[in-house]
A and B are shown apart, each in its own frame.
Chain A
Amino acid sequence: MCGIVGLFAKSPEIEERLGAHLAAMLVQMSSRGPDSAGVAVYRDSAGSDASKLTLYSAHSNESWGRVSDALRDAFGECSDPSVRASHAVFVVGAEADEAESWVRANRPELRVMSAGRVIEIYKETGLPDEVARRFALEDMRGTHALGHTRMATESRVTTEGSHPFSTGLDLCLVHNGSLSNHNRLRENLRREGIEFQTENDTEVAAGYLAWRLREGAALEQALEGCLEDLDGFYTFAVGTADGFAVLRDPIACKPAVLAETDEWVAMSSEWRSIAVLPGAADAAAWEPEPGVVYAWEKELVG
């Protein structure tokens, strides 16, 4: 199973309460995914000459201040850590890929959950409601966000195996389904220089998108490539710095519903998650067609 949700704000009111709305949507998907939950929230741009990292530590007493100091020594500028449970966000005066490489080289025990200018990713094992509260989603504002509740089928229930997966700057992917050619594809993508941190099939789909985007494809083209190159069942929701997109495989066994009002665009595995949003009863609602890319974009922030 698994549940996926996405919310794209079209009004300042929804942006203000984005995290609270996302948490409510996520909780509705508990029965589809009780093992772990995660979110990618696009918020508070680091600006044009800085980048943002979300780091995870398995140690509850991690000295995040020291990480900040070390990043400051390396790059000149780094914010104090913004800590939420096991995760911390840093705004660094460097290119995102340089900052990410530095963490991998110097603090290999930490895990880079996301890197970019606007994305933040938080994910943990546990019921969606617990996860949402642990990360205080309630008080997060932002422009758009994706969430996932996991019922694990093909790899272990760990923080690392939780979704969303990010394998490119400001890019993330959540997935309901299972891929059958992920091992071969992972090897091919590794040869192209895409790095993977787990044995999870969804990370391969995220890596595939990162590779296609790196090679110059637009998001819609990259997603259309999935129809050719990925074998398996999937409903994907993909986030980028300025938008989000939805794609279902041509067989379309995995559910999805889209809805739109003047205030928001939302996607979910089930209507239950959308029903909790303001004005849902009057929203235009439809089931995305199999094999068709749906995309929404915002003007680039920052």
Chain B
Amino acid sequence: MTVAEREHAAAEVVDLSTTALRDLNQRLHDLAGGAPGPRHFRVVNPSGAHAVACGLDADVEVEIDGHVGYYCAGMNKRATVRVHGNASTGIAENMMSGRVVVDGNVSQSAGATGRGGLLVVRGNASSRCGISMKGIDIVVGGSVGHMSAFMAQTGCLVVCGDAGEALGDSIYEARLYVRGSVAGLGADCIEKELRDEHADQLRGLLEMAEIDADTAGFRRYGSARRLYNFHVDNAY
């Protein structure tokens, strides 16, 4: 038996068709501060429930078999949450640290306002991915929808596919890496030179995300810095 198989076998299984969601989340919250308890959970039958594995603050791994609803792994700290399915609005919103990995697609506002940690989406993310991100890193294996990285402040958004309209509108200092086409850049977002230091950062993020993609095809986008600081043309 490999280590992974042993861990899998040892996982605490929680069936959401028979266990109340509040009970699951309470058990996960009780692990905060290093309290004793299982370190590996497997959640089955999520059936699109909202706020699954939300507000965690512990070194714990939660695997979810199926599709989840809104705000899964919201406010995550330290924990690893893996969704073997799709996720709806606001996956990993306001994540502080840790790692959230979604095998399928995610709906709008993935990683919104996130302050740290890594969000990996193997499929596509729809609109507003990384809206107002503040330090989170987001790696998307597919494409992102319109208004992604809107008002993004810091952190990186990596898109292996295409980006929709108004990418990086009113962006601050976040870095955007896109391999495919960009339907349109938002206000004050421009293409920037992708230097060696950026290629290194991008390579590191793709490795951490376990996504096999060549850094060569990517372009970098960021702020022209004409909008948010006290540019004389903005004074009144």
Binding site for B on A (CB under 8 A): 252, 255, 257, 270-276, 281, 285-287, 290
Interface residues in B82-129 (C-beta closer than 8 Å to A): 86, 88-89, 105, 107-108, 126-127
Assess whether A287 is in contact with B47, with CB atoms less than 8 Å apart.
Answer: no
In the assembled complex, the Cα of A290 lies from the Cα of B146 at a distance in Å of: 9
Question: B48 in the interface, Cβ–Cβ < 8 Å?
Answer: yes
Assess whether B69 is in contact with A290, with CB atoms less than 8 Å apart.
Answer: no
Which A residues are in CB contact (< 8 Å) with B69?
270-272
Shortest CB-to-CB span from A235 to chain B, Å, is 12
In the assembled complex, the Cα of A270 lies from the Cα of B46 at a distance in Å of: 13
Q: Which of A252, A255, A281, A286 is B88 in contact with, Cβ under 8 Å? A: A255
A-B interface, 5 closest residue pairs, ranked by CB to CB distance from nearest: A271-B48, A275-B47, A272-B48, A275-B48, A271-B67
In the assembled complex, the Cα of A276 lies from the Cα of B66 at a distance in Å of: 13
Q: Which of B47, B86, B145 is A285 in contact with, Cβ under 8 Å? A: B86
Question: B32 in the interface, Cβ–Cβ < 8 Å?
Answer: no
Chain B residue with Cβ nearest A28: B48
Binding site for A on B (CB under 8 A): 47-49, 66-67, 69-70, 86, 88-89, 105, 107-108, 126-127, 145-146
12 inter-chain pairs at a CB distance below 8 angstroms, sorted by A residue, are A252-B126, A257-B88, A257-B107, A270-B88, A271-B67, A272-B47, A272-B69, A275-B48, A276-B47, A285-B86, A287-B107, A290-B145
Chain B residue with Cβ nearest A285: B86
Which B residues are in CB contact (< 8 Å) with A285?
67, 86
Shortest CB-to-CB span from B43 to chain A, Å, is 14
In the assembled complex, the Cα of A277 lies from the Cα of B120 at a distance in Å of: 29
Assess whether A271 is in contact with B89, with CB atoms less than 8 Å apart.
Answer: no
Assess whether B105 is in contact with A287, with CB atoms less than 8 Å apart.
Answer: yes
In the assembled complex, the Cα of A286 lies from the Cα of B88 at a distance in Å of: 10
In the assembled complex, the Cα of A252 lies from the Cα of B147 at a distance in Å of: 11
Assess whether A255 is in contact with B47, with CB atoms less than 8 Å apart.
Answer: no
Assess whether A271 is in contact with B108, with CB atoms less than 8 Å apart.
Answer: no
Shortest CB-to-CB span from B193 to chain A, Å, is 32
In the assembled complex, the Cα of A58 lies from the Cα of B146 at a distance in Å of: 46
Q: Which of A255, A273, A274, A276 is B89 in contact with, Cβ under 8 Å? A: A255
Determine chain A's interface SS by DSSP, over half rule.
mixed
Chain A residue with Cβ nearest B164: A290
In the assembled complex, the Cα of A291 lies from the Cα of B127 at a distance in Å of: 13
Which B residues are in CB contact (< 8 Å) with A272?
47-49, 69
Which A residues are in CB contact (< 8 Å) with B146?
252, 290
Shortest CB-to-CB span from A5 to chain B, Å, is 13
Which A residues are in CB contact (< 8 Å) with B66?
281
Which B residues are in CB contact (< 8 Å) with A271?
47-48, 67, 69, 86, 88
Chain A residue with Cβ nearest B48: A271
In the assembled complex, the Cα of A146 lies from the Cα of B86 at a distance in Å of: 24
In the assembled complex, the Cα of A52 lies from the Cα of B164 at a distance in Å of: 45
Shortest CB-to-CB span from B68 to chain A, Å, is 8
Which B residues are in CB contact (< 8 Å) with A287?
105, 107, 126
Chain B residue with Cβ nearest A272: B48
Which A residues are in CB contact (< 8 Å) with B108?
252, 255
In the assembled complex, the Cα of A127 lies from the Cα of B68 at a distance in Å of: 24
In the assembled complex, the Cα of A257 lies from the Cα of B89 at a distance in Å of: 11
In the assembled complex, the Cα of A262 lies from the Cα of B67 at a distance in Å of: 20
Shortest CB-to-CB span from B22 to chain A, Å, is 15
Which B residues are in CB contact (< 8 Å) with A257?
88, 107
In the assembled complex, the Cα of A275 lies from the Cα of B17 at a distance in Å of: 12
In the assembled complex, the Cα of A47 lies from the Cα of B151 at a distance in Å of: 57
Assess whether B48 is in contact with A270, with CB atoms less than 8 Å apart.
Answer: yes
Chain B residue with Cβ nearest A273: B48
Assess whether A252 is in contact with B127, with CB atoms less than 8 Å apart.
Answer: yes
Which B residues are in CB contact (< 8 Å) with A270?
48, 69-70, 88
Assess whether B48 is in contact with A286, with CB atoms less than 8 Å apart.
Answer: no
Shortest CB-to-CB span from A291 to chain B, Å, is 10
Given contacts A270-B69, A271-B69, contact A286 B105 (CB under 8 A): yes
Given contacts A252-B108, A270-B88, A287-B105, contact A275 B126 (CB under 8 A): no
Which B residues are in CB contact (< 8 Å) with A286?
105
In the assembled complex, the Cα of A273 lies from the Cα of B105 at a distance in Å of: 18
Which A residues are in CB contact (< 8 Å) with B67?
271, 275, 285
Which B residues are in CB contact (< 8 Å) with A276?
47
Given contacts A255-B108, A275-B47, A290-B145, 5 further A-B contacts (CB under 8 A): A252-B127, A252-B145, A257-B88, A271-B67, A275-B67
Which A residues are in CB contact (< 8 Å) with B105?
286-287
Assess whether B127 is in contact with A290, with CB atoms less than 8 Å apart.
Answer: yes
In the assembled complex, the Cα of A290 lies from the Cα of B49 at a distance in Å of: 24
Shortest CB-to-CB span from A213 to chain B, Å, is 29
In the assembled complex, the Cα of A273 lies from the Cα of B89 at a distance in Å of: 15
Chain A residue with Cβ nearest B125: A287
Shortest CB-to-CB span from B213 to chain A, Å, is 23
Which B residues are in CB contact (< 8 Å) with A274?
48
Shortest CB-to-CB span from A100 to chain B, Å, is 39
